[in-house]
């Protein structure tokens, strides 16, 4: 058998290592807006999608935290800003954001059903850029990614899904505010190769059922951002079989025990990560500190980062303690 010279072996190994290190990733930054919502999505192409902006006020706190994540990602502008719905914890930070970043395209579900109009600061912002109203089934153009709107303006995407065996016995909620802004949330599935991430905003119980029962119209996902900051949700979410969930809770908002237990019981869930230790839950309904970005109320606004490869593998990193965990392709 002919032997390969050692020098050639070294060249081949170096090339292989370089290819792995140079593989482009989809990067997601789950930003601590203390019970609000802001997720920065950075495609392999470098294009950016920011989902929600957190609160206004607090000395521009939430925009400063978005800016810190953007600096880590090398992002200097927001190509697309998606506002899931018009509550202050999701849209409030728009004015602060525009002080720091240019935004090219603004995306939403249409005027607020609660005020019959757009928030004034948001309307002033999109008047200077491109504005698009999306419906369930639409696509949002981000190079290298497939971004599908699965819910918007109270409607679920009109496609057939797999039967969801977890729907049996789940009642409709009699207290669900189906006429409020939460029910209008824009929910998206972001796909990069085999990797799939779902963010359903603050969809209410009955709207979640319409999307996931009796058929799961979202499909199976790898990463799930808990609906409504980790508030109570139904077993319907189990049909998506998430491998990992991120809870965008604050110290005193979101992360309720019932919602936490429901997510933790999802079949096949490998890990739950939290932006905050939920003070009301105690140790029994919080994950170990290793998986929490901010472990006390007086935090430094640490985020969680997820980097995904097209083969479906991904790594979650907690910058507070430098802990990372990789989930292999399956």
Q: What are phi and psi of 209, to 5 degrees?
A: -65, -40
What digits encode the pLDDT tens for the residues 56-72? 999 999 999 999 999 99
pTM for the model stands at 0.92
| pLDDT at residue number 3 | 52
What digits encode the pLDDT tens for the residues 109-153? 999 999 999 999 999 999 999 999 999 999 999 999 999 999 999
The encoded tokens of residue 111 equal 């005027």
Residue ranges of the domains in the chain?
A: 25-327
| pLDDT at residue number 178 | 74
Which of 40-49, 175-184, 247-256, 320-329 is the least confident region? 175-184
Q: In whole angstroms, give the CA distance from residue 113 to residue 97.
A: 24
Token match 């990614």: residue? 145
Q: What are phi and psi of 3, to 5 degrees?
A: -90, 140
Torsion of CA 321, 316, 61, 263, to 10 degrees: -110
- CATH classification (class only), 25-327: alpha beta
Residues 6+ apart with CB under 8 A from 287: 271, 272, 273, 274
Three-state secondary-structure class, residue 90: helix
What digits encode the pLDDT tens for the residues 154-188? 999 999 999 999 999 999 987 777 779 999 999 99
Going by pLDDT thresholds of 50, 70 and 90, the confidence category of residue 11 is very low
**Is residue 81 scored above 80 in pLDDT?**
yes
């Amino acid at each position: 058998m002919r032997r390969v010279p050692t020098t050639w072996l070294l060249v081949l190994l170096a090339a292989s290592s370089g290819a792995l290190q140079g593989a482009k990733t989809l990067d997601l930054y789950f930003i601590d807006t203390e019970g609000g919502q802001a997720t920065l999505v950075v495609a392999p192409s470098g294009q950016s999608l920011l989902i929600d902006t957190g609160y206004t006020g607090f000395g521009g706190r939430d925009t400063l935290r978005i800016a810190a994540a953007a600096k880590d990602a090398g992002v200097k502008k927001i190509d697309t800003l998606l506002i899931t719905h018009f509550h202050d914890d999701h849209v409030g930070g728009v004015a602060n954001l525009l002080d720091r970043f240019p935004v090219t395209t603004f995306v939403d579900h249409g005027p607020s059903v609660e005020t019959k109009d757009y928030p004034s600061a948001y309307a002033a912002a999109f008047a200077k850029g491109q504005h698009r109203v999306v419906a369930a089934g639409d696509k949002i153009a981000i190079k290298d990614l497939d971004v599908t709107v699965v819910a918007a303006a109270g409607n679920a995407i009109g496609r057939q899904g797999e039967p969801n065996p977890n729907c049996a016995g789940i009642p409709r909620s009699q207290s669900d505010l189906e006429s409020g802004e939460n029910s209008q949330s824009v929910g998206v599935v972001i796909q990069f190769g085999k990797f799939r991430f779902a963010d359903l905003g603050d969809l209410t119980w009955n709207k979640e059922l319409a999307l996931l029962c009796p058929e799961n119209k979202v499909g199976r996902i790898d990463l799930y951002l808990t609906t409504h900051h980790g508030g109570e949700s139904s077993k319907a979410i189990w049909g998506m079989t998430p491998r990992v969930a991120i809870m965008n809770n604050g110290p005193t908002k979101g992360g309720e025990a019932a919602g936490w237990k429901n997510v933790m019981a999802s079949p096949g869930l490998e890990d739950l990560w939290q932006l905050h230790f939920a003070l009301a839950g105690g140790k029994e309904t919080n994950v170990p500190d290793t998986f929490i970005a901010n472990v006390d109320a007086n935090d430094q606004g640490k985020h969680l980062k997820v980097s995904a490869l097209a083969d479906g593998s991904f790594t979650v990193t907690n910058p507070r303690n430098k802990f990372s965990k990789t989930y292999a392709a399956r």
